[in-house]
Amino acid sequence: MNEQESIPVTKVERSAKFVKTGFQIGGNYIKHYSKKLFNPDLDRAQLNEDNATDIYKSLSELKGSALKIAQMLSMDKNILPKSYIDKFTQSQYNAPPLSGPLIVRTFKKNFGKNPEAIYDKFKLSSTHAASIGQVHEAELNGKKLAIKIQYPGVGDSISSDLKLVKPFAFRLLGMSEKELNIYIAEVEERLLEETDYELEVRRSIEITNACVVLDNVVFPSYYPELSGKRIITMDWIEGKHLREFLATNPSQQLRNKIGQALWDFYNFQQHELRAVHADPHPGNFLITPDEKLGVIDFGCIKEMPEDFYQPFFSLISTDVINDREKTIQAFRKLEMILPGDSPSQIDFYYQAYLEMIQLFAKPYTSKTFDFSQPEFFEKLYLYGEKIAKMPEFKQARGVKHFIYVNRTNFGLYTILQELKAVVKTDTYQPKLNEEV
């Protein structure tokens, strides 16, 4: 993959990049409609392919929050046409890496030294480049290390980038402006945390210490003294990403073992820590040679306040869902049903959300669940497509915490589906008050 020599850092440079991409997309539409004059049956497949290619190229060069949004959208399978999903999924594994001189400059700015003065060995070419930073291999005192380096300007450009992404997101997501503003504000808050590498190191140490009780889950050790605002030093974990692992045709027993580790990792955090690793894309996990799940990134953590946790999990793990009045009460606390709703609106949203919760809660309703069942995911995607077309869902509904908690759980389900794992779902249960 070609290395990138520079990143547009100033607002002017970055907005110029967006404008240029907007022109390219406009050109793609003109090309599409010109062809359609001669071929009225022409579908939008080529248009989607061209637009996805141009948008992804632009976002991957801008890096940062722009690329992060592409990564998030690639995980919401029922939101975008397939060509966008295919293209944006690349951001989960690989984006164009930065060149050596840019990396050296980042070290000098942060530590006042070249990487060679800090480590015994340092590879200038990156092993993995993603949306906010890239990873380099290093060695110190005989120990192999992974060095995560943040792209220049990423932390400073989040707010302005999200304003620039808004028109693209508006068109692609079909959300109302109010809903999009809630979405963008919550994304901005998480991204600002994600670019704070000192916070990431502190959280990584806290969460990995708490998770030592889990079977078959391993974490790198972190080195605060070799880390800073834009650089993290941690142990190198050997292993295969999900795609590489699945290409080895692992046994069902091994798929189940890794799936169980993943399920326990997420549910332990949700129910014991009330803070969860909210970036469940496959690029953040490795399957190690000794058949364990390696978790290598804690940049995005979503904390779950009590007033969200209690009503949300009461719906999926108690008999609340069988009682219409208690369910409506929980929906009100979660702002899925709003104070001004008429009786017919209350009934409509009650039925629509009841269907969603019953689908989502399916894995929790028995002691084990087989994630290879295609019908479970078909129903989930069909439901998503159905409500995406309903005018009633164009207005903002639900507290902001849903954005990352839903993304986390659906991301978890999707990885378990890819693993075709059968897991015990009763290992870490929700902890609910008597009165919810």
Q: What pLDDT, on the 0 to 100 scale, is given for residue 265?
A: 97
Residue 298: φ, ψ to 5°: -120, 35
Q: What pLDDT, on the 0 to 100 scale, is given for residue 183?
A: 72
Q: Residues 304, 405: contact at Cβ < 8 Å?
A: yes
One digit per residue, the tens of pLDDT, for the chain of length 436 reads 455 555 555 555 655 555 555 545 455 545 545 555 556 665 556 656 665 565 656 655 555 455 555 555 544 444 444 544 554 454 444 555 667 788 888 899 889 999 999 999 999 888 877 667 889 999 999 999 999 998 777 777 777 767 766 666 655 555 566 767 777 777 788 888 888 999 999 999 999 999 999 999 999 999 999 999 889 999 999 999 998 999 999 999 999 999 999 999 999 999 999 999 988 878 889 999 999 999 998 888 889 999 999 999 999 877 888 999 999 999 999 999 999 999 999 999 999 999 989 988 999 888 999 999 889 988 887 887 787 778 887 666 788 888 788 878 888 998 999 999 999 999 998 888 865 4
Q: What is the bridge-based pairing of β-strands 293-295 and 217-218? A: parallel
Instruction: Write the burial class of residue 38 (CB in 10 Å: 0-12 exposed, 13-18 middle, 19+ buried).
Output: exposed
The CA distances from residue 201 to 64, 273, 311, 331, in Å, are 19, 17, 31, 36
Q: What pLDDT, on the 0 to 100 scale, is given for residue 8?
A: 52
Return the biggest CA–CA distance within the chain: 69
Left if phi > 0, otherwise alpha if psi is -120 to 50, otherwise beta: which for 294?
beta
Selection from 386, 410, 355 nearest residue 72 by Cα: 410
Q: Residues 362, 376: contact at Cβ < 8 Å?
A: yes
Q: What pLDDT, on the 0 to 100 scale, is given for residue 62?
A: 55
Indicate the DSSP class of residue 398: S
Give 171's contacts (C-beta < 8 A, 6+ positions apart): none
Indicate the DSSP class of residue 80: S
Amino acid type, 356: M
Q: What pLDDT, on the 0 to 100 scale, is given for residue 238?
A: 96
Q: What pLDDT, on the 0 to 100 scale, is given for residue 10?
A: 55
The residues spanned by each domain of the chain are: 11-95, 243-436
**SS3 (DSSP) at 84:** helix
